[in-house]
Amino acid sequence: MPEITLPVGPQHPLIKEPISILLDLQGEYVTSARVEIGYVHRGLEQLLQRRSYTQGVAVVERICGICSHAHTTAYCQAVELLLGLEIPDRAQAIRALLCELERLHSHLLWLGVLAEAIGFTTIFMYAWREREQILDVMEMISGGRIAHGANVIGGVREDLSPDQVEATEDRLTKLQQQLSVFTDLVDRDKSFHQRTHGIGLLPLELVYAYGVVGPMARASGATLDVRRAAPYGAYRHLEVPAAISSEADVWARAWTRVQEMSHSIALCKEIIRHLPEGDLALRVPRRIAPAKAVSRVEAPRGELLYYVESDGGEMPARVHVRTPTLPTLLVMEKMLPGLQTGDIAAVVAGADLCMACADR
């Protein structure tokens, strides 16, 4: 049977972002895969060297729309480490609250996209409808649905009033009830099981060899979660439960993320019930003395690392960003061979790829 090469992307209805996956097919089976990225490369690292630290926050927020708060948190944290600052407790709590809300909205987004990829459009509509509740809460807290602008170097920009705290708690309680639709989907829906069980296996050895992080790794049995391994900010006072599966297939990735959604709702409630009093932000100087810092944050897709170096000026000497999607994209070349063409959609959508993060 002749072998053909099927190019998936850069424009493809399944993937919302440009990526090129070249699949060699022998009949219905994938024999090899090659991933090519760079369509969304905007030269962030060089741009940040030409912006002041404060301007950098706005630039970094626009690396990725889905995990924008994680990026600004990691960046602000790195700069605060350069300055040797400990930001006020109230600011840390608000940052963590938005981090968890962002995790919730990202996982709901992912679930909808996976469902649409396997033909289950109803769940896409349900998941994104529930996601609107989270976006409303984020808009109420920060003023923006997607780009929040909540973080500043030294703390946060906006406060939470008692009314907003109550409204957030209400919405989260309603969302917790609605989550039962998604837990049922993962636990009981037979057609979902048939499309996702045993598909797209990622053994633990590959997770370690390729440095895969986040829910993708935890669905294969890895335990690394920066909130537990190296707690930062308000996570130093929070107990973050683990959601680890050993099934290592697309189903396990769905199960892990649905569990994490439940945990995130509980964490959000814990944060708002014990919101500490205090200032919102510290004043920071424009120039930062020479120093280096590494900041790690658990973004919705996994470990996000920022390396920031200052040289005494108003602009950073070097900013390096390592996003969690990079190792996932790399390991796709190992996960796709052996699949039937009908399962490619489930595996690619199930991997929660974010090209904007990867290409920067």
Partner 1 sequence: MIDRIVRWARKKSPWILHYNSGGCNGCDIELLDALTPRYDVERLGILKEASPRHADILICTGPVTLKSRIPLLRIYEQIPEPKWVVALGSCACSGSVFADSYHVLGGVEQTLPVSMYVPGCPCRPEAIISALADLLERI
Partner 2 sequence: MTVTDTLLTALATVLPEAVPDRDSIAGGETVLDCPPEHLLDAFRALTESGSTVHLSAITALPADSGTLLLYHLWIDSGLTLCVHCPRNEAPSLTPLLPAASWYEREAHDMLGIRFIGHPNLEPLLLAAEWSGPPPLARQEKTDA
Q: Is 78 helix (H, G, I), strand (E, B) or coil?
A: helix
Q: How many residues bind partner 2 (CB under 8 A)?
A: 39
Residues that bind partner 1 (CB under 8 A): 10-11, 13, 16-18, 38-44, 46-47, 50, 58-59, 62-66, 68, 109, 124-125, 128-129, 132, 145-147, 354, 356
Among residues 33, 57, 67, 82, which is the contact residue for partner 2, using CB under 8 A?
82
In the numeric block, the tokens 């964490």 are attached to 267
Contact 262, 69 (CB under 8 A): no
CB of 326 to partner 2, least distance (A): 6
- The set of residues, in sequence order, having a beta carbon less than 8 Å from that of 119 and lying 6+ positions away, is none
Q: For residue 313, give the amino acid letter.
A: G
> Angle at the Cα of 299 (from 110 to 37), degrees rounded to 5?
70
Determine the Cα–Cα distance for residues 282 and 342; give it in Å rounded to an integer. Answer: 54
Nearer to partner 1 by Cβ, of 45 and 270: the residue is 45
Q: Does 329 bind partner 2 (CB under 8 A)?
A: yes
Among residues 234, 327, 335, 353, which is the contact residue for partner 2, using CB under 8 A?
327
Distances, alpha carbon 80 to alpha carbons 29, 72, 187, 279, 289, in Å: 50, 12, 43, 16, 12
Q: Strands, E, within 27-69: which ranges? A: 29-36
Determine the Cα–Cα distance for residues 252 and 192; give it in Å rounded to an integer. Answer: 12
Q: If you compute the radius of gyration of the chain from its CA atoms, what whole number of angstroms results?
A: 20
Among residues 51, 157, 193, 296, which is the contact residue for partner 2, using CB under 8 A?
296
* Interacting partner of 208 out of partner 1, partner 2, none (Cβ under 5 to 8 A depending on kind): partner 2
Among residues 43, 188, 190, 283, which is the contact residue for partner 2, using CB under 8 A?
43
CB of 122 to partner 1, least distance (A): 11
* Interacting partner of 237 out of partner 2, partner 1, none (Cβ under 5 to 8 A depending on kind): none
* Interacting partner of 11 out of partner 2, partner 1, none (Cβ under 5 to 8 A depending on kind): partner 1
Q: Does 53 bind partner 2 (CB under 8 A)?
A: no
Q: How many CB atoms lie within 10 A of CB 187?
A: 12
Determine the Cα–Cα distance for residues 244 and 354; give it in Å rounded to an integer. Answer: 22
CB of 126 to partner 1, least distance (A): 8
Nearer to partner 1 by Cβ, of 59 and 250: the residue is 59
* Interacting partner of 63 out of partner 1, partner 2, none (Cβ under 5 to 8 A depending on kind): partner 1
Torsion of CA 45, 50, 52, 58, to 10 degrees: -50
Q: How many CB atoms lie within 10 A of CB 304?
A: 28
Among residues 146, 230, 281, 282, which is the contact residue for partner 2, using CB under 8 A?
230
Q: How many CB atoms lie within 10 A of CB 272?
A: 18
Nearer to partner 2 by Cβ, of 202 and 305: the residue is 305
Give residues in contact with partner 2 (CB under 8 A).
37-38, 41, 43, 45-46, 49-50, 78, 81-82, 84, 208-211, 213, 224, 229-230, 291-296, 303, 305, 307, 309, 318, 320, 322, 326-327, 329-330, 359-360
